[in-house]
């Protein structure tokens, strides 16, 4: 599998039947097409939709039916619409079981930076800051390094923070980390990856799980 497919495949395993899940803008939205229809999972979007389905084909596109990233989506039976106040009440009230978000940087203590790069135009933070505080579990998915080859898992984030110590699980194209006792712990290696690869491309300090799982 290519790097992105490895990330998405592993992230899908975090979703359990019956969960209420929020998929962040970017790569996380691609998970919607991979969720089995019999899972009974309800995908929630900050702009006011509970019950997002797979991406629609060209004949089924409704320009008024979009997710928080302004992509056209479909809906599943039982879907509901509501305003932003109700949407964020769900998030802040702890009713979202799982948030899967993209990341620009993650620190060795689980801090997350994922909403802006200084000097570049952004539309706003969106719901990320609320999601990392309100969701019961936060999973971050991202490439292990930047396009220039710089580490994205750092001793300390250099970009503006979304939240401190909020990353429960980090999935990259090379490895899977869990936050344990306030520090990232390497728990799995992605197929084709080695511990040497991970050490070389990770700036942050991390511990290694006693029984390191080969993904």
Instruction: Name all domains of the chain by residue range, CATH numbers in brackets.
Output: 3-214 (3.40.1080.10)
Contacts of 76 (CB under 8 A, 6+ apart): 37, 42, 51, 52, 53
Instruction: Please give the pLDDT value at position 143.
Output: 97
Mean per-residue pLDDT, 100-105: 97
Q: One of 2, 14, 46, 71 is an active-site residue; which one?
A: 46
Lookup: tokens for 4: 């992105």
Lookup: tokens for 211: 């029984």
Instruction: State yes or no: pLDDT of 62 exceeds 70.
Output: yes
Contact 115, 122 (CB under 8 A): yes
Asked which of 61-65, 88-92, 166-170 is least confident by mean pLDDT, the reply is: 61-65
Active site annotation includes 46: yes
Contact 46, 52 (CB under 8 A): no
Mean per-residue pLDDT, 48-63: 91
pLDDT band of 194, cuts 50, 70, 90: very high
pLDDT tens for each residue of 104-141 = 999 999 999 999 877 776 666 778 999 999 999 999 99
- Give the CA dihedral 188, 16, 130, 171, nearest 10 degrees: 20
Q: What is the pTM of this model?
A: 0.94
Instruction: State yes or no: pLDDT of 28 exceeds 90.
Output: yes
Mean per-residue pLDDT, 94-108: 97
Mean per-residue pLDDT, 90-110: 97
């Amino acid at each position: 599998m290519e790097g992105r497919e490895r990330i998405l495949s592993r992230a899908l395993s975090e979703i359990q039947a019956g969960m209420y899940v929020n998929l962040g803008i970017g790569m996380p939205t691609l998970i919607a097409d991979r969720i089995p229809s019999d899972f009974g999972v309800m995908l929630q979007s900050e702009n006011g939709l509970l019950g997002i389905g797979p991406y629609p084909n060209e004949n089924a596109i409704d320009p008024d039916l979009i997710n928080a990233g302004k992509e056209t989506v479909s809906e599943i039976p039982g879907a509901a619409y509501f305003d932003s106040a109700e949407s964020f009440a769900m998030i802040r009230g702890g009713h979202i079981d799982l948030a899967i978000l993209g990341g620009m940087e993650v620190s060795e203590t689980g801090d997350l930076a994922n909403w802006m790069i200084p000097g570049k135009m952004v539309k706003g933070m969106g719901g990320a800051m609320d999601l990392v505080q309100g969701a019961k579990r936060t999973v971050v998915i991202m490439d292990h390094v930047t396009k220039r080859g710089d580490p994205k898992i750092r001793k300390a984030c250099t970009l503006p923070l979304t939240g401190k110590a909020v990353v429960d699980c980090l999935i990259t194209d090379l490895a899977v980390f869990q936050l344990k006792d306030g520090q990232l712990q390497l728990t799995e290696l992605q197929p084709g990856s080695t511990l040497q690869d991970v050490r070389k491309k990770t700036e942050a300090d991390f511990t290694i799980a006693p029984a390191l799982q080969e993904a």
